[in-house]
Structure 1
């Protein structure tokens, strides 16, 4: 299949998730889409509308898109990446969320950066992780999947969404810190009590526990960080700092977890059984998306899949040739 497209957006479907990044003040991209991609089909994702249904309906038309584009946060981008894999289409990912970990790792800081890459037909083959919970269908993960303290924090924050993202987050942090307990994992027949487990797409910064943003493009391995529950609750939540500066400050004042409490594995596959304490949610998070399971625990399996999806990225970005193909 020829993935080349016209620079005016002909053959491009862009789905815009306006609810992403609601905590960040950013300019409306509608003018940019109209000016730079006048021939593209732009679809605003409505309340309760399903991204899968929107894309599947577009693919069944006589004018099925050649490129699947998404304007949204990491969760929206990862869902569209999964659909791009299913339909064998390249992905046009544009930053429209709060953190935009994935696109930033590819050197895409703005909507214009992504459109420039589209116009230049500059792409990179990106590795992903396929994550399966129990017997469900695998989902595509672009950055990280996590269990433990971080998913419980997200679960608390979503319960307080009416307070707003920042206030709700502050209240959720206080509540989660008070209620925090280690959970039990079973791996290879061996049990362990842990505060958290992070499974990153590709090798990541060895000084971090919360590897929220990927560091490699064509990731062929998983970088696993297991935070064993030998330290305090404060250290457990300090470990969630994913910024280099924040982690350095916490390390300097002695709040960051000790190196001896962090187990690191670099593997191609990783499987474990998750057993939360009674009264605690049975949850995990992937690319900022909370997934709830039946009470009592679940089995989580992660598999690295290199070169899984083609993504438009600026020339010279990590893994992208300096001259477009």
Structure 2
């Protein structure tokens, strides 16, 4: 049976690789057939529009006053002008069709190259589960979904936080008293604190998405609109082994951010006025004396003068992905994802359209990353919580450290999004590549930037 399943999976990958190459070829042929060599000119017009929009966004974020207003106008008018030119010349339809074919090509290439996933095992039902709940998380989801009563009906001990308890101490005490499963109904910051205790004592962990965003729950495939559904993991669950990330001695389930974002989050006004605080703070953080100037070391790779850095527990597919914003393909790759940004002037902002080749965006994977700065300590956003750590900060991964129990039936679909490596896709399409390797080697630049 296993041999037939493997053969079927291999055949499906080959077919998807062939579809990817066909769609890629068609995305190039469509504008050539419609406009001939003039399609090259129209492509340059589109690239120029994107570059001008990037400059506009940079002016909006990095400056105040007249330049900020001009940047906002430019970031809107540049793409609208390109679309108007395409429409007036009859190229809008072919351009949209070409774009759709390119998206299909990339999606098919990613799924074709996706690595095999670990098989989840049936979880043994706990005898003494313990759940800590934050009644303030997510605007009161604990009360709104009746989580306390439902958890106690499932045989769990429930502790409600009042804002003054030490969550880590409570979790340790629960394990000392015989708890054989720990769970959290709250945000990702609280999830991370209890997850570390669960990993240290090799106790299963359950995520109940009662926070505002719950990115960890999203990547586990849980239903964030129905937190109570996660309680099914107590009686009919599967066990997954996932990684944990560490920044110094602080654990994170999603990411640790350094530089501009971490500094903005540190502002006390951020909680009540996020957009206003961000727009007020960014000019100084991007171009002023407050610009952080981060340096990182990951194996042989050395990069300096970064303004923003995100170290994630497993790599994100994209920093910005309209289809799956902030999503990770898997949580068990045994690697950290590293995303750095270095934009200090208008020319660098315009070059952002070149992606990884612009020199402004750096992506890589690593087992360990050392973050340094010119200050004795540095602000860090760990799963959205502001902390200050002494430099240098060593970020590392603990592969398979956490046993997570999830419901057998989850609405979330696992992502299949390995970066499109077109030479490997071509070899697979010819039937010459039958082993899937996930992404580049540690510290190798990620081609999916």
TM-score range, shorter chain: 0.7 to 0.9
Instruction: Show CA shifts across 1:224-273 (max 9, x none).
Output: 111013346xx7xxxxxxxxxxxxxxxxxx89776211011111111121
Distance 1:143 1:54 in 2: 22
Structure 2 unaligned regions, length at least 5: 1-121, 416-449
Which aligned runs of 4 or more in structure 1 are off by greater than 4 angstroms? 188-191, 254-258
1:187 has 2:301 as partner: no
Cα separation, partners in 2 of 1:82 and 1:312, compared to 1, 3 Å? same
Instruction: Show CA shifts across 1:197-245 (max 9, x none).
Output: 1112223214539x8553312131112111013346xx7xxxxxxxxxx
Match of 2:14 in 1: none
Match of 2:176 in 1: 60
The structure carrying a bigger helix percent of its residues is: 2
1:285 Cα deviation from its structure 2 partner: 1.1
Match of 1:275 in 2: 374
Cα separation, partners in 2 of 1:11 and 1:213, compared to 1, 3 Å? same
Which moves more between the two structures, 194-203 or 95-104? 194-203
Match of 2:27 in 1: none
Cα separation, partners in 2 of 1:176 and 1:102, compared to 1, 3 Å? same
SS in 2 for 1:28: helix
Check conservation: 1:102, 1:143, Cα contact below 8 A. yes
Q: Structure 2 length as normaliser, TM-score?
A: 0.55
Distance 1:274 1:20 in 2: 34
Match of 1:131 in 2: 247
Cα separation, partners in 2 of 1:273 and 1:32, compared to 1, 3 Å? closer
Distance 2:168 2:129 in 1: 16
The structure carrying a bigger strand percent of its residues is: 1
Cα separation, partners in 2 of 1:282 and 1:207, compared to 1, 3 Å? closer
State how 1:26-105 maps to structure 2 within 5 Å: 26=141, 28=143, 31-35=146-150, 37-38=152-153, 39-61=155-177, 64-105=178-219
SS in 2 for 1:54: helix
Distance 1:255 1:76 in 2: 39
Which residue of 296, 300, 310 maps to 1:198?
Answer: 310
Match of 2:361 in 1: 262
Check conservation: 1:3, 1:89, Cα contact below 8 A. no
Check conservation: 1:72, 1:96, Cα contact below 8 A. yes
Check conservation: 1:3, 1:67, Cα contact below 8 A. no
Q: Structure 1 length as normaliser, TM-score?
A: 0.74
1:27 Cα deviation from its structure 2 partner: 6.1
Distance 2:141 2:352 in 1: 33
Match of 2:393 in 1: 300
State how 1:164-183 maps to structure 2 within 5 Å: 165=271, 167-181=272-286, 182-183=291-292
Match of 2:403 in 1: 310
Instruction: Show CA shifts across 1:93-132 (max 9, x none).
Output: 1011111000111111232331122221312111121221
Which moves more between the two structures, 304-313 or 27-36? 27-36
* CA RMSD, Structure 1 to Structure 2 (Å): 3.0
Which moves more between the two structures, 305-314 or 68-77? 305-314
Distance 2:194 2:146 in 1: 22
Check conservation: 1:143, 1:200, Cα contact below 8 A. yes
Check conservation: 1:205, 1:215, Cα contact below 8 A. yes
Larger radius of gyration: 2
Structure 1 unaligned regions, length at least 5: 133-137, 236-253, 320-325
Cα separation, partners in 2 of 1:149 and 1:180, compared to 1, 3 Å? same
Count residues in correspondence.
274
